Structure 1
Amino acid sequence: MSTTPSAVIRTAGIIADLLRAAVLAAAVFTALSDQVEGAIRLGLVFLVLLAPRLAGLPRPFDLAVCVLLPVATAASLFHWYRQITWLDWVLHCVCTGALAAMVYLLLLRTRLLPALRDQSRGAVVLLTALVGIALGVVWEFYEWFAEIVAGVRIGVGYTDTIADLAMDTLGSLLAGVALVAWLANGREPFPRT
């Protein structure tokens, strides 16, 4: 029995919606357990996960964000980064890439970027990479503020920041290539399904 591409895309949307619901349930459970910081983080992740759904972004990109951001949040909440040192780099790469693609598509959707027909493939990759790099810089500002100003022990430093930004850049470039491949197959950036 073969599966049609539209069935796969519908399934991706269903899984993404289930993951959104799971993050919301986890935020409520964490809040009821008096774990305020975790509840706030999960609540913010839930709000970010709503963006691709509300904007009608392609389901595979929606699903990528809905899988990766909760994993990164869990890694932070359960201190997996301290136990598995390379996990930080991997998650910086894949999460920033997924977010870069999402934000690129949101900017396209809101017409803050030129229409796709007015962009070359190289421009799509470059703009996606620039979005991801900007997101990475904002995250590193947050980490600096949390550690230096708020006194939260994160363990950041020059080497960590540069490595994180390098992985953000790599992930965003790969996300740009994935967007080009998606669009080159004749798919719409904002499908109706």
Structure 2
Amino acid sequence: MRPRSCPAWVPAAVLLATVAQLLVAEYWPGIERFADKAFGARLVAYPLLMLAVPVAWWLVSRRRADPAAPPYGAFTLVMLPFLVDVTGNSLDLYDAVAWWDDLNHFGNWLLLCTGLGLIVCARVRPRWAVVVLVTGIGALLAIGWELGEWYTFIRHGTELDTAYEDTLGDEALGTLGAFVAGLVVASVLGRRRARTEAPRAAAG
């Protein structure tokens, strides 16, 4: 029996829910929790980042003679961290819950890197190479994200007092999340290959 695939409406719903909250944050006046959080920039950047992976997959896939079905489940995992981040701001969790930011850096990198790993590591072997590759991608993305936060917030002094400590912790948590994602991806891909190769071995 073939495993169920994620329908296309799921990542579309994640994208729409994220954009809707960004529009409220940017254009609905008088909501204090959204003040000084660069939601204007997020309204542009987040949808572009969420669509970057599906667009890249489509550009590569269309050049293949026998393209695979779109991995909507992986697209959803890549998009979910942006929804989680915006929802956390909408519910004021970053200010109300002390550990929310730390949980986000671990959990969101786990989701993001699992999605990316399922897309880019389908042909990577052995399993340890999958773990190393996914962890490395996550570490690079964690550094890039912190550079973006520095440019947006810290450079102007709004979080200067705790910038260094917070940056190191966020990068460590993001990399740890990516490492766990690598283990998850290696396990999922291993099971997929076993299901694919078992009928071939039986036929041979």
Question: Same fold, TM exceeding 0.5?
Answer: yes
Q: Pick closer, same or farther for the CA change 1:33–1:167 going to 2, 3 Å.
A: same
The answer to whether the 8 Å contact 1:100/1:172 transfers is yes
What SS does the aligned partner of 1:10 have?
Answer: coil
**How far off is 1:171 after superposition?**
0.6
Q: Residue 15 of structure 1 corresponds to which residue in structure 2?
A: 10
Q: Distance in 2 between matches of 1:98 and 1:171?
A: 8
Q: Residue 46 of structure 1 corresponds to which residue in structure 2?
A: 47
**How far off is 1:103 after superposition?**
4.3
| Structure 1 counterpart of 2:21, from 23, 26, 31 | 26
Q: Pick closer, same or farther for the CA change 1:92–1:142 going to 2, 3 Å.
A: same
**How far off is 1:91 after superposition?**
0.8
Q: Pick closer, same or farther for the CA change 1:22–1:122 going to 2, 3 Å.
A: same
The answer to whether the 8 Å contact 1:144/1:156 transfers is no
The answer to whether the 8 Å contact 1:143/1:154 transfers is no
Q: Distance in 1 between matches of 2:160 and 2:101?
A: 12
Q: Distance in 2 between matches of 1:45 and 1:159?
A: 26
Q: Residue 149 of structure 2 corresponds to which residue in structure 1?
A: 143
The answer to whether the 8 Å contact 2:18/2:82 transfers is no
**How far off is 1:184 after superposition?**
1.3
Aligned amino acid, residue 21 of structure 2: A
Q: Residue 103 of structure 2 corresponds to which residue in structure 1?
A: 90
- Residue identity over aligned pairs, in percent, reads 25
What SS does the aligned partner of 1:40 have?
Answer: helix
- Matched ranges for 1:81-160 at <5 A: 81-104=94-117, 108=120, 116-117=123-124, 119-153=125-159, 156-160=162-166
Q: Pick closer, same or farther for the CA change 1:87–1:153 going to 2, 3 Å.
A: same
TM-score (norm 2): 0.69
Say how many residue pairs are matched. Answer: 175
Bigger Rg, which one? 2
**How far off is 1:177 after superposition?**
1.3
The answer to whether the 8 Å contact 2:38/2:152 transfers is no
Q: Would you say 1:183 and 2:189 are equivalent positions?
A: yes
Q: Distance in 2 between matches of 1:27 and 1:159?
A: 28
Q: Residue 78 of structure 2 corresponds to which residue in structure 1?
A: 65
**How far off is 1:132 after superposition?**
0.6
Q: Residue 5 of structure 1 corresponds to which residue in structure 2?
A: 3
TM-score (norm 1): 0.73
Q: Pick closer, same or farther for the CA change 1:31–1:83 going to 2, 3 Å.
A: closer
State the superposition RMSD in angstroms. Answer: 3.1
Segments of structure 1 that go 5 or more residues without pairing to the other structure are: 188-193
What SS does the aligned partner of 2:158 have?
Answer: coil
**How far off is 1:79 after superposition?**
4.3
Aligned amino acid, residue 81 of structure 1: Y
